[in-house]
A = this chain, B = another copy of it.
């Protein structure tokens, strides 16, 4: 059984609030005072519950990934073809990047891109997340090639890199004020590239 005074705030809710501030302002742009204010708790409570700023950020990233990332990533597995998978994933992300009442763009892409050398660990953490996303994208194309819905000629590395780059670009567009329809139009464009992209393969003529 639990001993001592029970915590009198909702840890999960407080973490959610922290996530939103980090998502909006980034890791270094968010101060402890910003966090305690948004979470509705005092500083020592934050440290007791989450350890330190960096640990709180990592938990916030995990929560973000769970809420916003995993659902969009899941279709990568469930969709029947690689093309369907990637298009649906892109459109799902376009939706999450432009939700009203939430910061635009992807927290994992935006929240710790540049900064002081002493926060390199935080940036690397997000960079690893992005790397995994790229690998998942590429893996889905490889799977499509194995299952026959993507031509054997395709260069999975190139196709995956292309769509990963576009996806990360969408976060910046969203920060710059692009609407969901704007992002959808860009995705339309990217999807028209699918057929020639998977067709041309590794030996692409240059210029």
Contact = CB atoms under 8 A, between A and B. Distances in A.
A16 interface: no
A7 interface: no
Nearest to A84: B207
A75 interface: no
Interface in A175-202: 175-178, 182, 185-186, 188-190, 192-193, 195-197, 200
Interface stretch (A35-43, A64-72, A166-174): A166-174
Q: How many of these chains are in the complex? A: 2
A17 to B, nearest CB: 16
Given A30-B116, A162-B190, 6 more contacts: A26-B115, A28-B115, A111-B114, A158-B186, A158-B189, A161-B178
25 contacts: A25-B116, A26-B115, A29-B115, A31-B116, A34-B116, A110-B113, A113-B175, A114-B175, A131-B176, A158-B185, A158-B189, A161-B182, A161-B185, A161-B186, A162-B190, A165-B173, A166-B166, A168-B173, A169-B169, A169-B170, A188-B206, A193-B196, A193-B197, A195-B196, A196-B196
